[in-house]
């Protein structure tokens, strides 16, 4: 049944009214003591600093972790506190907790076990993503290290704090296990096989013989832990034909033509903690009398938390009629997107008899339970023509460990397989990726999302290939770099310009690269205890997911104040400040007031059904008949999606106000035609005609309200490697716009929903492209290696990248610097054991996990080359993820150049390097 306008209050989920509001208490500190006030220098459209800039550097920035019950309007002031008992074993049944060891005075006021949640009908709403058994039942073997066993709730902080300290020192005695047994086998979590063979006509042929976009992926079946690929059948169904081509590719690499050279190597990317500044936390309050549940959350996907909570509660015995969510600033690098953590805080509140409950992990607990980067072992075989140096075929086998819960392992596996080609074109590829489950803590969404891990091996392989062939590695890259009009390994034509050759040409002319042999000899002569190396790598990364949804609303007051409401969550990237700045394109200045993480889009009256990642075209075609349906309501703030996708919503809302509010107002004030007024442009916050006449935004806003022009636009848009489009009859004029939902304000009137017609969306099959819009980046690294200790020191770092149209240069620089830091850690320091001696034991902290410091990343010797924007591609590209990728293999290649030996298992610790030097 289609919902009606009367069914909406803010928005509804599973019959529960849902509201999401920024946290009210201490809110001034979020915006430097001026709520939602944007710091701008007078007379310019450039940011003086980011919205939260002063708060960041003075330590007054408010995170969800800082909020207590007393800060929240309408909440009881007495704050309860909870901690979770996490399993430290996954090879024995959990029997019980011996809480007597805490002492009589430190018994929890409330204890929540699996038996309690089962009785209350509580479990994760999405068993595919989160699994089942939110809490491990007594008598059963925990599914993984760190599987939650129980939640202990205390009404006062003093008792909570002492009890938690005692628990951590006596954990092995408090948790009682049975006899040792085998870990639970859950079977593989995901598999994808990218098979592609180009058609007649070569690289730019109109049709491939086989590819995932046109023919589909090849999927395996499972027999317990065994993975069984379909039988090859050249005249059979799609998967049978795909396997026939796959076997043909591998057979050709086994017995290659005489003019081919085949290289085979294996590489490893480690199990990594993203080390987010703010450990997981939430603060929740359930009032049984009113049926209201409120959640203060640290989440990159607040919409998912709220709709997921509503779905979970629908099946429970708890009566909840209203949900309120309060998202705050956070940082997660992907680990706070679709995280199971908030649901534990919600469950705690449901059992706390009306007391607000704060569940906040310390760093050891965060290491034990937070989402990790997948470890990835990759085996690559590459065939190349010795004469032409053109790559001919790639066969790859990728193995990921997803740990004990699915989380985002399936899409990470897909993205890793799609990224394995790197920046190169292959006429043929067979890339098989399999993700296994294990007793390790779960892996999921982390910055780079599979693309990072897979391309580490690709770029190290190319270096080794050039050495075997005795050719210049930069020339090898130039010859094989993907060009415009060539297909990806999935068979898709990239939507972004392929400017990698331009970058490679610039990079190989850089003095560090061009003079590397001379520099090596001179450096080592001057520093006999050190070895010197130069390394290079280049990579690409899709920005955004294959299904992105954005909602934005821009309103203009009669006084000329701009108010922006946006789904963007500020996770440290500067997304909120950027969206405010984007209003200046159409309205002459940035937004004066901003509400981020906004999810009151009820004027649009839109709803979604199936996940866009699983729907087929038949479902989409059927549902598209309803003008209020959309494939997805709101994207998480992740996947480098703000610069392009989130900006699209702000752009379209501002454009409509400009066209139907600003321009008509200017025409009336100047007494000229609308066409003449449309020729004016913004200069120093004045709307200026070619003859010099100008108007302020305040004058235009007042006139627009007087004329009953459009002064507010709320839009929703959906992209699946192409924006959905629809026709809208707006005040008697029909126009086609790249949005699928629209509401407008006329003057100071209430929102009016505008009915769409003739909507079109991209075919869901386009998801098989894996990536389509992308940004490339390269890294050129100088290192020294201590001959005695194996210590690596980064001497200098140079990056080239294609950002498209740069929105805020300072934010691009910040992303690059942060990416370099994470890359150096990945390459040289970071990595953990997967199982009992790893973080799942509950005793890992930064004393055991080394992060790079400022001294490790050549802070004062970093340079960057940003390609100028082109007329063909005048839009921004998301670069927050891609800037991290090339530095990792570049460091590895630099170490290889220094020590004369390739080390293929990351991180390249001092011990590994000493062994290579011995």
Q: What is the pLDDT of residues 444-470, one digit of tens each?
A: 999 999 999 999 999 999 999 999 999
Tokens in use for 335?
């680990």
Instruction: Write the CB contacts of 223 (distance below 8 Å, at least 6 apart in sequence).
Output: none
pTM comes to 0.94
Residue whose structure tokens are 């063979």 = 197
- Nearest in space to 101 (alpha carbons), one of 170, 40, 41, 157: 170
Alpha carbons 604 and 745: distance in angstroms, whole number: 12
Alpha carbons 74 and 94: distance in angstroms, whole number: 40
Measured in residues, the chain has a length of 918
- Asked whether residue 229 carries a pLDDT value surpassing 70, the answer given is yes
What is the per-residue pLDDT across 363-393, written as a single tens digit (0 to 9) for each? 999 999 999 999 999 999 999 999 999 999 9
- Asked whether residue 35 carries a pLDDT value surpassing 70, the answer given is no
- The average pLDDT across 817-832 equals 97
- The average pLDDT across 867-874 equals 92
Per-residue pLDDT at 2: 41
Beta strands in 98-166 (DSSP E): 110-113, 148-154
| Beta strands 357-360; 281-287: pairing state | antiparallel
* φ, ψ for residue 96, nearest 5 deg: -175, 175
- Asked whether residue 136 carries a pLDDT value surpassing 50, the answer given is yes
Per-residue pLDDT at 695: 98
548-769 has which CATH code? Answer: 3.30.365.10
> Which listed CATH number (3.40.50.2300, 1.20.1070.10, 3.40.50.10490, 3.30.365.10) goes with 191-271+373-543+771-917?
3.30.365.10
* Residue 859 CB burial class (10 angstroms; 0-12, 13-18, ≥19): middle
- Buried b or exposed e, range 764-774, using 16+ CB within 10 angstroms: bebbbbbbbbb
Confidence of residue 563 (pLDDT cuts 50, 70, 90): very high
Q: Please report, for residues 205, 367, 403, 646, the alpha-carbon distance to residue 834 in angstroms, rounded to integers and kept in the order given.
A: 45, 12, 8, 36
The top-level CATH class assigned to 65-183+278-330+336-369 is alpha beta
Alpha carbons 817 and 808: distance in angstroms, whole number: 15
| 620 and 548 Cβ atoms separated by less than 8 Å | no
Beta strands in 336-420 (DSSP E): 357-360, 372-373, 376-385, 391-403
Q: Distance of alpha carbon 270 from its chain centroid, rounded?
A: 19
Residue whose structure tokens are 């969404």 = 445
- Asked whether residue 488 carries a pLDDT value surpassing 80, the answer given is yes
CATH 3.30.365.10 intervals, the chain = 65-183+278-330+336-369, 191-271+373-543+771-917, 548-769
Alpha carbons 591 and 421: distance in angstroms, whole number: 42
Alpha carbons 725 and 252: distance in angstroms, whole number: 45
Per-residue pLDDT at 42: 40
How many C-beta atoms lie closer than 10 Å to residue 629's C-beta?
A: 18
Q: Greatest CA span in the chain, whole angstroms?
A: 89
- Asked whether residue 9 carries a pLDDT value surpassing 70, the answer given is no
Dihedral, 203, 206, 212, 213 alpha carbons, nearest 10: 130
- The average pLDDT across 493-500 equals 95
Per-residue pLDDT at 304: 93
How many C-beta atoms lie closer than 10 Å to residue 758's C-beta?
A: 12
Per-residue pLDDT at 38: 47
């Amino acid at each position: 049944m289609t919902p009606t306008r009367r069914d909406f209050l803010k928005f509804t989920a599973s019959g529960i009214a849902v509201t999401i509001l920024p946290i009210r208490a201490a809110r001034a500190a979020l915006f430097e003591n001026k709520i939602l006030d944007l710091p701008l220098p007078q007379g310019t459209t450039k940011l003086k600093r980011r919205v939260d800039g002063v708060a960041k550097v003075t330590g007054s920035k408010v995170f969800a972790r800082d909020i207590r019950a007393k800060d929240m309007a309408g909440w009881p002031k007495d704050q309860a506190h909870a901690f979770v008992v996490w399993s430290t074993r996954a090879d024995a049944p959990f029997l019980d907790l011996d809480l007597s060891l805490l002492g009589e005075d430190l018994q929890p006021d409330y204890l929540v076990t699996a038996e309690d949640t089962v009785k209350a009908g509580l479990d994760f709403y999405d068993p595919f993503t989160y699994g089942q058994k939110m809490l491990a039942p007594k008598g059963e073997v925990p599914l993984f290290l760190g599987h939650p066993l129980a939640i202990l709730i205390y009404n006062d902080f003093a008792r909570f704090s002492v009890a938690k300290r005692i628990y951590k020192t006596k954990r092995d005695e408090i948790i009682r296990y049975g006899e040792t047994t085998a870990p639970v086998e859950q079977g593989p979590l995901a598999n994808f096989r990218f098979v592609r063979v180009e058609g007649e006509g070569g690289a730019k042929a109109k049709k491939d013989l086989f590819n995932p976009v046109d023919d589909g992926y090849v999927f395996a079946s499972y027999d317990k832990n065994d993975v069984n690929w379909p039988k090859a059948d050249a005249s059979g169904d799609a998967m049978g034909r795909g396997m026939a081509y796959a076997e043909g590719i591998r057979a050709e690499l086994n017995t290659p033509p005489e003019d081919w050279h085949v290289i085979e190597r294996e590489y490893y990317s480690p199990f990594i903690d993203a080390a987010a500044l703010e450990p997981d936390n939430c603060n929740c309050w359930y009032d049984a009398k009113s049926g209201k549940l409120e959640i203060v959350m640290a989440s990159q996907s607040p919409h998912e938390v709220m709709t997921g909570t509503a779905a979970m509660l629908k099946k429970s015995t708890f009566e909840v009629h209203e949900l309120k969510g309060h998202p705050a600033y956070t940082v997660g690098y992907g680990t706070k997107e679709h995280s199971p953590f908030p649901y534990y805080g919600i469950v705690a509140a449901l059992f706390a008899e009306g007391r607000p409950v704060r569940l906040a992990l310390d760093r050891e607990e965060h290491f034990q339970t937070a989402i990790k980067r997948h470890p990835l072992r990759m085996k690559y075989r590459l065939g190349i023509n010795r004469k032409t140096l053109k790559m001919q075929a790639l066969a790859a086998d990728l193995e990921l460990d997803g740990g004990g819960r699915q989380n985002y392992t399936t899409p990470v596996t897909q993205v890793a397989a799609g990224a394995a080609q790197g920046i190169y074109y292959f006429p043929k590829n067979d890339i098989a990726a399999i993700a296994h489950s294990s007793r390790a803590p779960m892996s999921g969404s982390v910055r780079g999302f599979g693309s990072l891990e897979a391309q580490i091996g690709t770029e190290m392989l190319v270096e080794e290939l050039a050495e075997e062939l005795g050719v210049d590695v930069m020339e090898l890259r130039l010859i094989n770099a993907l060009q415009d009009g060539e297909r990806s390994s999935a068979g898709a034509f990239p939507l972004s310009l392929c400017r990698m050759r331009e970058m490679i040409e610039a990079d190989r002319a850089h003095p560090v690269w061009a003079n590397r042999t001379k520099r090596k000899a001179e450096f080592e002569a001057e520093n006999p205890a050190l070895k010197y190396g130069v390394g290079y790598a280049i990579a690409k990364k899709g920005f955004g997911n294959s299904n992105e949804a954005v909602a934005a609303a821009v309103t203009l007051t009669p006084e000329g104040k701009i108010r922006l409401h946006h789904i963007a969550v500020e996770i440290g990237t500067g997304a909120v400040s950027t969206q405010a700045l984007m209003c200046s394109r159409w309205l002459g200045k940035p937004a004066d007031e901003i509400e981020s993480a906004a999810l009151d889009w009820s004027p649009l009256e839109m709803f979604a059904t199936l996940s866009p990642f699983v729907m087929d075209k038949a479902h989409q075609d059927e549902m598209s008949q309803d003008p209020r349906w959309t494939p997805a309501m709101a994207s998480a703030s992740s996947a480098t999606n703000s610069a392009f996708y989130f900006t699209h919503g702000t752009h379209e809302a501002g454009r409509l106000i400009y066209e139907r509010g600003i321009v008509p107002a200017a025409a009336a004030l100047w007494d000229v035609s609308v066409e003449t007024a449309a020729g004016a442009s913004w200069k120093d916050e004045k709307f200026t005609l070619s003859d010099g006449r100008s108007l302020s935004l305040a004058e235009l806003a007042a006139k627009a309200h007087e004329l009953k022009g459009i002064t507010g636009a709320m839009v929703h848009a959906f992209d699946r490697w192409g924006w959905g489009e629809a026709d809208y009859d707006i005040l008697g004029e029909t126009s086609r716009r790249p949005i699928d939902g629209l509401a407008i304000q006329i003057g100071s009137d209430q929102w009016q929903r505008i009915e769409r017609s003739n909507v079109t969306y991209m075919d869901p099959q386009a998801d098989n492209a894996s990536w389509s819009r992308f940004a490339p980046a390269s890294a050129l690294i100088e290192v020294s290696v201590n001959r005695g200790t194996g210590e690596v020191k980064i001497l200098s770092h140079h990056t080239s990248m294609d950002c498209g149209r740069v929105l805020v240069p300072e934010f691009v620089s910040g992303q690059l610097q942060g990416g370099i830091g994470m890359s150096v850690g990945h390459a040289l320091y970071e990595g953990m054991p997967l199982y009992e001696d790893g973080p799942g034991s509950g005793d890992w902290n930064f004393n055991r996990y080394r992060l790079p410091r400022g001294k490790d990343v050549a802070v004062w010797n970093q340079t960057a080359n940003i390609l100028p924007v082109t007329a063909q591609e005048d839009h921004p590209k998301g670069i927050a993820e891609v800037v991290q990728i090339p530095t990792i293999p570049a460091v590895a290649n630099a170490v290889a150049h220094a020590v004369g030996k390739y080390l293929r298992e990351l991180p390249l610790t001092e011990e590994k390097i000493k062994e290579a030097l011995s």
